[in-house]
């Protein structure tokens, strides 16, 4: 298997199993490579928009739909708690894990809490809305803001 | 990319923040986006949708304005 794909899958499966981001050393051990080689893979995966890295180039900020840092979008499933990068990714986590989940978030204007049950068929009936201010062509200009 | 309780809450938020109001997305449409982007994300063959595929996904969910065009430069 291609090395970058091994690294990508190791990162994603760590998030899926634990809810949190892996350390550089954990991924290096997982793929049986040195940290420098994993950092190079991280850079290539960032260029492909697969990962978003922190300023240190070694810590994973995003492996969409998973967030490496705490956010207002929390997802619970299978006894594990996850953070999502945004409202879209909050539904992306149960879609990726293919497990029923509970999404906790909020209305950005009123701060009213949102609790959304999601099954394999999607979220139950809900009149809540999703809104994005950044047009699709600009999403990756600043993906953290988007 | 945020949740809102209603269209009025979106309108209030955009006005307060100085952002233009963009197309609103229902929860069933958002689930369609989540599945299209992420249903295979943990699998070795997974890849991000290409621009032409993105257009098809958006259009299939009724999201067809220029806002959703991943290569448009005329969205403002």
pLDDT tens column, A81-98:
999 999 999 999 999 999
Which chain A residues touch B18 with a CB distance below 8 Å? none
How far CA A6 is from CA of A2, A40, A125, in Å, comes to 6, 13, 38
Higher per-residue pLDDT: A66 or B75:
A66
The fold of the A64-146 domain, in CATH, is Beta-Lactamase (3.30.450)
- pTM, two decimals, is 0.91
Numbered ranges of CATH 1.10.10.10 in chain A: 3-61
- Where do we find the tokens 């940290």? A35
**Residue A120 CB partners (closer than 8 Å, separation 6+):** A98, A100
**Class for domain A3-61, per CATH?**
mainly alpha
* Pairwise CB contact (< 8 Å): B41 & A127: no
Best A65, A95, A111, A139 member to test B by mutation, with max B CBs in 10 Å, is: A95
Which chain A residues touch B57 with a CB distance below 8 Å? none
Which chain B residues touch A49 with a CB distance below 8 Å? 48
Of B3, B44, B72, nearest to A108 by CB-CB distance is B3
pLDDT single digits (tens) B40-69: 999 998 888 888 899 999 999 999 888 898
ipTM score:
0.90
pLDDT of residue A1: 77
Q: Is B76's pLDDT higher than 50?
A: no
According to DSSP, residue B6 is labeled S
């Amino acid at each position: 298997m291609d090395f970058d794909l091994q690294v990508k899958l190791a990162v994603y499966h760590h998030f899926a199993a634990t809810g949190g981001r892996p350390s550089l050393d954990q991924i290096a051990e997982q793929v049986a490579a040195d940290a420098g080689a994993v950092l190079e893979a991280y850079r290539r995966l960032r260029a492909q928009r697969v990962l978003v890295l922190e300023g240190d180039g070694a810590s994973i900020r995003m492996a969409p739909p998973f967030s490496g840092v705490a956010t207002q979008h929390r997802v619970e499933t299978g006894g594990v708690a996850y953070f999502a990068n945004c409202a879209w990714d909050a539904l992306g986590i149960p879609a990726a894990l293919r497990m029923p989940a509970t999404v906790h978030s909020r209305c950005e204007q009123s701060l009213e809490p949102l609790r959304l049950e999601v099954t394999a068929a999607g979220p139950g009936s809900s009149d809540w809305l999703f809104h994005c201010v950044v047009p699709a062509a600009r999403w990756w200009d600043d993906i953290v803001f988007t | 990319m945020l949740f809102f309780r209603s269209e009025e809450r979106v309108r209030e938020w955009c006005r307060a923040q100085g952002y233009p109001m963009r197309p609103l997305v229902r929860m069933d449409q958002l689930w369609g986006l989540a599945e299209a982007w992420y249903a295979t994300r943990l699998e070795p063959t997974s890849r991000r949708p290409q621009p032409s595929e993105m257009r098809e996904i958006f259009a299939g969910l009724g999201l067809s304005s220029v806002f959703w065009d991943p290569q448009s430069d005329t969205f403002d």
